[in-house]
Structure 1
Amino acid sequence: MIKRLICTIACSAALINGEAQIKWPAVNTVTKPWARWWWPGSAVNNRSLTANMQQYAQAGLGGLEITPIYGVAGYESEFINYLSPEWMQVFTYTLAEAKRLNLQIDIATGSGWPFGGGPLIGDAEACKDFEYKTWIVKEGKGIKDPIVFEQQPYLDAIGNTLSDKKELYPTKGTVGAATLTMLKESERVKDVKKLAEPVYANKNLQALAINQLKYKKNLPLQVVMAYSEKGETIDLTSQVNAKGELNWKAPAGTWTVYALFMGWHGKMVERAAPGAEGNAIDHFSEAALNKYLSRFDTAFSGADLGQLRGFFNDSYEVDDAHGQSNYTPGFFAEFKRRRGYDLKLFLPQLLQKERNETSLRVLYDYRQTIADLLLEKFTIPWHNWAQAKGKIVRNQSHGSPANILDCYGVVDIPETEGSELLRFKFAVSAAHILNKPLASAEAATWLNEHFKTNLGDVKTAVDKYFLGGVNHVVYHGICYSPINDIWPGWLFYAAVHFQPIHPFWKDFGTLNTYVTRCQSFLQSGKPDNDVLLYFPFSDHNSEAGRDLLNHYDGMKGFENTDFNKVAEDMLAKGYAFDLISDNQLQKVYATSFGLQTPGGTYRTIVLANTKYLPLPTLQKLADLAKNGATILVYNNFPTGVPGYGQLAERQQQFTNITAALKFAGDGALQKATNGKGAFIKGNDISVLLQAANVLPEPMYAKGLQCIRRSISGGNYYFISNATKEAVADWVPLGRKAASAIEFDPMQGLSGVANTRMKNNKLEVYVHLEPGESCVLQTSNTKLTGKPFTNYAIAGKGTEIKGNWRLFFMMGGPDLPKPTTVSKLGSWTEIPDALGKVFSGSAQYSIEFPKPAGAAPAYELDLGKVAWSAEVILNGKTLGTLLGPIYKVNVPASLLKPENELMIRVSNGMTNRIIALEKEGTPWKKFYNVNFPARQAENRGADGLFTAANWQPEASGLLGPVTIAPLK
């Protein structure tokens, strides 16, 4: 706990004669955190929908993203087919309830993932790949064999079984063969020949849980080309008849014949809800997308969608399967239109294993065409479709073979996920540069093993998202569960399990209030970053790689590059930067204030040892420099253009521009003046940035991290201490300011910060314990008003000892009897055997005298807590503590000669789950992915998660509890 105590005062800083009128920014449904909301089997009913949503709203959530998925055994009769009239009834009921409860709703544009697929998607719309054959043909010879390609069958199906026990499933939510339709090992379909075609003609698709399926079939021929040793080419496609017979004899010389066939990648909608199973769409075909979206048009016709904010797309996830989806009908025409030459003339170069420069350039053009199609035939039309309905789209672009910065850039809310700050940068940068007010995150996805994540862990993850520029948190997630289902109800296989039945739900609202307060600042103002770091998409797409297509997700594929090195270096030192693509760079222009983008102003652009630059990019950089920009070049200047089309012409233009740049200088920097600005080259990024008048935030040198946003007359700083040590020090700020207001978003406290000027910089005294954070609002004018007071320990703490009364408030499987403990420790150690299996909340209470002496305030330190604790002193709630530090300040005025202290502690689900496992109670009852373990050591003999070998987890107030005077 920060050593501070202030009067809580109303809160944004308006000035009246220098007096700070301190106000927190307004909150709404978007400043509140949201959650992904899974609908297993879409087996929802009005009564449970209302009950669930009321709990979510009361806990402080602002919105939900509905994602229908696979079902739960025992509830088959209640499955509702996706987008059916019955499904639309529960969906519109949900929207109406959301309006009543002041919740907003997003919906995934599909079920499971990847986006798009199901019973409307036949061979014409399904995702494609290509296969090829080659023949060596001598002069005067032909090809005797028919030119055909038989696709071999392939099946990847989960088909999990819940239990091989003979007991029946007599009631809903329990396990038994009477209602179970999932397949036992002996019943699983392993032979594709046993499956009907098309795939959606098969019954029991929920039980089959097919991820990928290829049928045995002859593939359509696309093109046949002959290539001579002398470089001659002949298109033989028209000379192949319907039987695959080629009517051709080779001319003089030796010829290699390539035949390319269109195949079906076979990716199915993974984790699909009932009625949504089937082929995944061709993401490179707008016709396929439109066919898929027509199902929504039909379902939504006449429905009141007023409470629906928008549509969501999870990450690409098509090629997380066998092979790649790398072709679409009409690809050769699209390639020629975009690249300016006929790819059919260069099939050997595209497909050869040992790459040379020409081959790599053709490969680049192929990859760039695929990237263009994904952007222009899928992402943009989907966005336009949603806009026509008056809705926004939220998109996870990562994982795709496109330039994900551009895909993020054409949607309303770019969304990231994961745990790496540089991964966050891609979505957030697009939001910053292109003036999108929100950047979201799929947050807290499976942070630890099942049931091992506490709210303090979630806060740590959320703070990292905030530092990365995210300002719209969407928890991953909450699973709808009927109100009459036995504990633990319905759970999603990869999540922290933000369920109302989770003991930490009691304190979930505290975390949500914290997130809401932080996001109210982070959604205000504008991003305030200095550096645009160029994303070298062309470099990576010009490398051979393992496969034809590269997939982009954070720094994967860039690990050993200077691009990654420079980004990591700037991140560690506190430089504020965003990533920028070639297309986005075209929107930048130079002004007297810096480099202006649609979303903000930057000071410089950095090229990190980039090899290839598209010609329009180099032309733009040269133009920016002529108009006053400083362009920084780390290590080497780019050497040329990527790709093969019109190479000589483009390379000559590139050379003409670079030849005019005369770098000169000794030592660490070389400079080439270009008009009003310059290119500056060097091998030390800090020296380079200093040459562009870019400095890091000094607080990084003290172990703190921050992100800042510009507001009228100052800045907002979100500051986090992610270290294991407290920071209590004067912290200099990188932006000029005269004074500041400090906000504690966890405790809801605020006041004028303690500041001083040193070396012409404003320094703010900040005290943050490990895991703590604060917000500073700086002002260019001097502020006065109620102070934000920091405290320090003034003397030795006293342990609060005696008999603690322990009362179990709520939880299960049953409540242990009240007891008294003379020494604090885990409640799993109390004599009552229920203590070992209890998951829930318990209250500790004790009386203690006021400490001797006088002090303005005292620090109450709970010591160790498992997991969260609400502190109540003399009937007044002092706060709820989520960890990892469990300290709270107590005003001296609250202490009496004799004081009653109550501490209400909530643990996790772990101990009750252990008990269920050891009893053999079947709670893993889900189709498709039936509860896998995240860590291999937690897999049972059946391959599923088990806690049967776990020991009870420490729970409760572990102490020692001490109270110490402050000064």
Structure 2
Amino acid sequence: MKRSIVKVVFVAACIASAPSLFAQTAPAWPEITQINKPWTRWWWEGSAVNEKDLTWMMEEYRKVGLGGVEITPIYGVKGYEKQFIDFLSPKWLSMLNHTLKEGGRLGLGVDMAQASGWPFGGPWVTNEDASKYIAYKNYSLKGGEKLIEPVQYIQEPMVRAVGEKIEIGKLKEPIASNPNLQLHAFDQVRFPKPLPLQALMAYSEAGQIVDLTNKVDGSGNLNWTAPSGNWNLYAAFAGWHGKMVERAGPGGEGYAIDHFSKAATDNYLKYFDDAFKGADLKNLRGFFNDSYEVDDAQGESNWTPRFFEEFKTRRGYDLKNHLPALFGKDTPEKSSRVLTDYRETLSDLLLENYTKTWHDWAKKRGAIIRNQAHGSPANILDLYAATDIPETEGSDILRLKFASSAAHVTGKPLTSSESATWENEHFLSKLGDVKKAMDLFLLGGVNHTFYHGANYTPQNEAWPGWLFYAAVHFTPNNTFWTDFSKLNTYVARAQSFLQKGKPDNDILLYLPIYDTYATRGRSLLQHFDGISHGFRGTSLEESAVLLQSKGHSFDFISDAQILNTSAANGSIQTGGLNYKTIVVPQTKHIPLATIQKLISLARDGATVIFYKGTPADVPGLGNLEQRQLELKNLISGLNFSSSKKAAVGNGSVIIADDLDKTLSSIKINREELVDKGLQLIRRKHDKGTYYFIVNSSGKDINDWIPLQTQASSIAIFNPMTEKTGYGSFRKAGGKAEVYLQLPKGESIILDASGVSSTGPVYPYTAVAGNAQPIAGKWRVIFTNGGPTLPAAVNVSKLESWTSFTSEGVKDFSGTATYTTTFKRPKGKAANWLLNLGDVQESARVILNGEEIGTVIGPVYQLEIPSSKIKRLNTLVVAVSNSMANRAAYLDRNNIYWKKFYNTNMPARLGANRGADGNFTAAKWEPRASGLIGPVTLTPLKVNKP
């Protein structure tokens, strides 16, 4: 039997690698590194940590295959106030030092958030450095009149507290000097006081403009008599936005910084320099910033005291002369142009005065930065690009691609993600759910994942321990911890390929941000967060959705990034990559420098595509007529033929009415495998192309799959089963087709190499007979979990263990072993497919004392070599359910576990919200748990496609 199988495998190998045979070497997995492994955000609640438990937790993380941690101190746990450690205090730094030493010993990397909570801020942030907003008042005067009322704006008081409410009159400044900050958990505080005047400008109907700012005395009195005519006066004031650091821990409570002020950023970072003096931080890899989130408050932070000066320097004219347009009180055209310039200036300031300043600070100290730019009132492609590791989050692949695109076009090797934040409700997320989420991140270009997140919890703390308010709990108290390493190995295997080589995308897709800048909304700012925030319903969305759905590979690119591209040999080069074309979605406004660069790229041999027409105008107000004329001349100089193609130098400019057809006409071919419901991402390496492919079709794939690459051999790697081998492939029209066997929801990695290689073939199989049930009795022993261990039972029918008669089974969360014996099934087979059927929720399989594998879903099946099945066999299946039933037991019995300051376990779903507004599982019915089956064995034979 063994000889015949070997013969078949060898013949298959010969066919797969014909016509030549080379060294018979098996495809090799890359060596798993610390960076290949997934990392996790590590919440330090109240920073109430100690060396013993820090070490225990880090050892647990290493055991389950994590590669590193990101320390983020947040709000504390009630009852542990005496153990709280103030952020950046000497004691806190001693805990950081211990963590760094243990990280070095255990091979775990360490980053840290550069705030206790988010965004950047703290008690050392003064009113001068805190976030600001612009407010204005309007006055009317006629010739000969004087303004009677004072030029003054009294800020309305406001207190928004997540925790215990308090009146503003009971608070004092600075806010950090108040007691019980953890109890109140302030989100936003504004004190009633007059706001500093930024400018007072007078505008006459005749077009005269007078700056009256210096004519206002300290009491707000205006010493000015209006000349003849009718005058409108606009007074602009700088308000204190009042945004506090969210979820701040002890010693971290305070105002968020003014992200548009370099002085504010410098002062903020200086506090860290002072705190770090004498500390050994060589094992600290980098610093992290969570998403912008300054404006998830009342109003928005949209001002900085030096804004008028910054605006004039960057835009070339004085904004004070156009305040009516800024506030939407001028003509629609002028108001739109001034608003564009205002928004672009804030974007510049956020990039230069915060992001780049922070990056330079970290670089000088030998560290990197990771930054979540999404949600910012700026061109987030540029913000991401100013970061060593751009970080994204979410469940929309186009949103994810903003971060990875910035990494790709600027030559950064890593893109990270805040992963699995809210996959389900509390205690309900399966490892299979997280795996599905991880596949989307990997497809979106993420190759350095961070789970969101793992909580520090004392080892002896009562179940469920200390938890964070988001709904996936990566903690040793989670029942899936026993099988967590399987998911981590899967992610590490996938990332080991996705960190190799270079991105392989054909198209650059221009981000037409100026049309959005020009569109006035309900507020002065527009915040950008993928397609959905800023570009919904635009040609950018249409283009991106089309390219993604058709299997075209692309990266987004900004105006600033376009200026750093070059063209050679018909390609557009940036970040060490070659792109075949750039597509400009239909847009009205485009900067003159951008269109000049696009035409220059075409002149040097590139192909530039304008979707449905060329831009019609330039954005902004400064030097408008000259810029409009230059744009008109550039566009009119393109001599389009009847096919809407214009030759420019060595390249061309094309107007595309049908983007997919146009791309095909210039030999940019899509990956047709998407038509079968597969999704992919590619990376180039010296000898060929890596493909990461996910079967999202909803059905199993057993078929020839076309690839848009030439190959002489294709190695297949399954990151879940870890099976490898050379795949069967054939040439079709100069391209390769590979045969894939891929269950629904599963993924595969291909190495399509231009070098002929042979070796063991990928183990394709086919069903050789009917599925045979493993019938008989099962011994079920509850081995680990609680609240108590139910008594062991014998069952002849598999069903949810919540249906057993043992006391406590309905409340139990943990692991149970299912043991049965079975005779060798009838029939001949190379392998047997063990299908566990319905599993709630993950399982480890042991056959005859040998561990066969772990399954986490969506597929609960394993292949077992025929040689491992004896005449009489003992099968053990160790199944772990979710935390849900035990959590419901706690809430039904009013057992105290929700003991967290700030936000005390909010529910994701309204149905799970209790009378106090917080999460409760008290109404949950027992959730199906354990091995439900049916369990079957199906004979498999070696299959040659």
- Say whether the fold is shared (TM-score over 0.5): yes
Confirm or deny: 8 A CA contact 2:507 2:553 kept in the other structure.
Answer: yes
* Partner SS for 2:645: strand
Instruction: Give, in angstroms, the shift of residue 224 of structure 1.
Output: 0.6
Question: Matches of residues 229-240 of structure 1 in structure 2 within 5 Å?
Answer: 229-240=205-216
- Is 1:504 equivalent to 2:493 in the alignment? no
Letter in 1 for 2:140: I
Q: Which moved more, 1:833-842 or 1:920-929?
A: 833-842
Question: Equivalent residue for 1:347?
Answer: 323
* Partner SS for 2:473: coil
Question: Equivalent residue for 1:164?
Answer: none
Letter in 2 for 1:443: S
Unaligned runs of 5+ in 2: 1-5
Question: Equivalent residue for 1:146?
Answer: 150
Confirm or deny: 8 A CA contact 1:138 1:253 kept in the other structure.
Answer: yes
* Partner SS for 1:900: strand
Q: Distance in 2 between matches of 1:563 and 1:119?
A: 42
Q: Distance in 1 between matches of 2:575 and 2:540?
A: 24
TM-score normalised by structure 1 residue count? 0.95
Q: Distance in 2 between matches of 1:853 and 1:314?
A: 58
Confirm or deny: 8 A CA contact 2:419 2:452 kept in the other structure.
Answer: yes
Q: Which moved more, 1:689-698 or 1:390-399?
A: 689-698
Question: Equivalent residue for 2:103?
Answer: 98
Instruction: Give, in angstroms, the shift of residue 24 of structure 1.
Output: 1.1
Q: Distance in 1 between matches of 2:538 and 2:579?
A: 24
Q: Check 1:17–1:795 CA distance in 2 against 1; reply closer, same or farther (3 A cut).
A: closer
Pairs aligned (count): 927
- Is 1:701 equivalent to 2:675 in the alignment? yes
Q: From 312, 316, 332, give the equivalent of 2:288.
A: 312
Question: Matches of residues 523-542 of structure 1 in structure 2 within 5 Å?
Answer: 523-542=499-518
- Is 1:896 equivalent to 2:870 in the alignment? yes
* Partner SS for 1:547: coil
Confirm or deny: 8 A CA contact 1:527 1:599 kept in the other structure.
Answer: no
Q: Distance in 1 between matches of 2:826 and 2:339?
A: 78
- Is 1:124 equivalent to 2:122 in the alignment? no
Q: Distance in 2 between matches of 1:94 and 1:829?
A: 45
Q: Distance in 2 between matches of 1:788 and 1:875?
A: 27
- Is 1:251 equivalent to 2:223 in the alignment? no
Q: Distance in 2 between matches of 1:457 and 1:593?
A: 43
Confirm or deny: 8 A CA contact 2:388 2:412 kept in the other structure.
Answer: yes
* Partner SS for 1:296: helix
Q: Distance in 1 between matches of 2:433 and 2:157?
A: 45
Q: Distance in 2 between matches of 1:223 and 1:367?
A: 19
Q: From 569, 592, 597, give the equivalent of 1:592.
A: 569
Confirm or deny: 8 A CA contact 1:18 1:782 kept in the other structure.
Answer: no
Question: Matches of residues 548-563 of structure 1 in structure 2 within 5 Å?
Answer: 548-555=524-531, 556-563=533-540
Q: Distance in 1 between matches of 2:907 and 2:536?
A: 29
Q: Check 1:540–1:6 CA distance in 2 against 1; reply closer, same or farther (3 A cut).
A: farther
- Is 1:821 equivalent to 2:795 in the alignment? yes
Question: Matches of residues 167-206 of structure 1 in structure 2 within 5 Å?
Answer: 183=164, 188-189=165-166, 191-206=167-182
Question: Equivalent residue for 2:707?
Answer: 733
Question: Matches of residues 272-671 of structure 1 in structure 2 within 5 Å?
Answer: 272-352=248-328, 356-555=332-531, 556-592=533-569, 594-665=571-642, 669-671=643-645
Letter in 2 for 1:205: L
- Is 1:41 equivalent to 2:60 in the alignment? no
TM-score normalised by structure 2 residue count? 0.97
Confirm or deny: 8 A CA contact 1:48 1:482 kept in the other structure.
Answer: yes
- Is 1:959 equivalent to 2:942 in the alignment? no
Instruction: Give, in angstroms, the shift of residue 22 of structure 1.
Output: 2.2
- Is 1:156 equivalent to 2:160 in the alignment? yes
Q: Distance in 2 between matches of 1:866 and 1:500?
A: 19
Question: Matches of residues 858-877 of structure 1 in structure 2 within 5 Å?
Answer: 858-877=832-851
Q: Distance in 2 between matches of 1:821 and 1:338?
A: 77
Instruction: Give, in angstroms, the shift of residue 46 of structure 1.
Output: 0.7
- Is 1:134 equivalent to 2:138 in the alignment? yes
Q: From 689, 695, 714, give the equivalent of 1:721.
A: 695
Confirm or deny: 8 A CA contact 2:907 2:913 kept in the other structure.
Answer: yes
Instruction: Give, in angstroms, the shift of residue 723 of structure 1.
Output: 2.6
Instruction: Give, in angstroms, the shift of residue 783 of structure 1.
Output: 2.0
Letter in 1 for 2:684: S
Letter in 2 for 1:257: L
Q: Distance in 1 between matches of 2:209 and 2:237?
A: 19
Instruction: Give, in angstroms, the shift of residue 18 of structure 1.
Output: 5.4
Instruction: Give, in angstroms, the shift of residue 805 of structure 1.
Output: 0.6
* Partner SS for 2:169: helix
Q: Distance in 2 between matches of 1:804 and 1:300?
A: 59
Q: Distance in 2 between matches of 1:282 and 1:680?
A: 44
Question: Equivalent residue for 2:34?
Answer: 29
Question: Matches of residues 47-126 of structure 1 in structure 2 within 5 Å?
Answer: 47-114=52-119, 116-126=120-130
Q: Percent identity?
A: 51
Q: Which moved more, 1:826-835 or 1:68-77?
A: 826-835
Confirm or deny: 8 A CA contact 1:59 1:512 kept in the other structure.
Answer: yes
Q: Distance in 1 between matches of 2:287 and 2:314?
A: 30
Q: Distance in 2 between matches of 1:79 and 1:674?
A: 67
Question: Equivalent residue for 2:918?
Answer: 944
Q: Distance in 2 between matches of 1:253 and 1:411?
A: 53
Moved over 3 A (4+): 4-7, 15-21
Instruction: Give, in angstroms, the shift of residue 118 of structure 1.
Output: 1.3
Instruction: Give, in angstroms, the shift of residue 16 of structure 1.
Output: 9.5
Q: Check 1:958–1:612 CA distance in 2 against 1; reply closer, same or farther (3 A cut).
A: same
Instruction: Give, in angstroms, the shift of residue 239 of structure 1.
Output: 1.0
Q: Deviations over 1:452-480 (max 9, x none)?
A: 11000000000111111100010001010
Q: Distance in 2 between matches of 1:52 and 1:198?
A: 37
Instruction: Give, in angstroms, the shift of residue 20 of structure 1.
Output: 4.2
Q: Deviations over 1:804-850 (max 9, x none)?
A: 11011111111111110110010111101211111111110111111
Question: Equivalent residue for 1:165?
Answer: none
Q: Which moved more, 1:360-369 or 1:585-594?
A: 585-594
Confirm or deny: 8 A CA contact 2:570 2:605 kept in the other structure.
Answer: no
Confirm or deny: 8 A CA contact 1:225 1:258 kept in the other structure.
Answer: yes
Letter in 2 for 1:64: V
Q: Deviations over 1:841-866 (max 9, x none)?
A: 11101111111121111111111000
Q: Distance in 1 between matches of 2:55 and 2:754?
A: 49
* Partner SS for 2:176: helix
Q: Deviations over 1:210-245 (max 9, x none)?
A: 000000001111111000112110111111111111
Instruction: Give, in angstroms, the shift of residue 593 of structure 1.
Output: 5.2
Q: Distance in 2 between matches of 1:482 and 1:86?
A: 18
- Is 1:796 equivalent to 2:770 in the alignment? yes
* Partner SS for 2:646: strand
Unaligned runs of 5+ in 1: 160-182
Q: Distance in 2 between matches of 1:203 and 1:679?
A: 65
Q: Distance in 1 between matches of 2:62 and 2:207?
A: 69
Question: Equivalent residue for 2:3?
Answer: none
Letter in 2 for 1:472: H
* Partner SS for 2:798: coil
Instruction: Give, in angstroms, the shift of residue 354 of structure 1.
Output: 7.3
Q: Which moved more, 1:360-369 or 1:693-702?
A: 693-702
Q: Distance in 2 between matches of 1:298 and 1:412?
A: 24
* Partner SS for 2:614: coil
Q: Deviations over 1:362-421 (max 9, x none)?
A: 000000000000000000010000001100101101110111000111110000000000
* Partner SS for 1:150: coil
Q: Distance in 2 between matches of 1:513 and 1:324?
A: 43
Question: Equivalent residue for 1:167?
Answer: none
Instruction: Give, in angstroms, the shift of residue 771 of structure 1.
Output: 1.2
Q: From 828, 845, 849, give the equivalent of 2:819.
A: 845
Question: Matches of residues 780-791 of structure 1 in structure 2 within 5 Å?
Answer: 780-791=754-765
Confirm or deny: 8 A CA contact 2:570 2:606 kept in the other structure.
Answer: no
Letter in 2 for 1:268: M
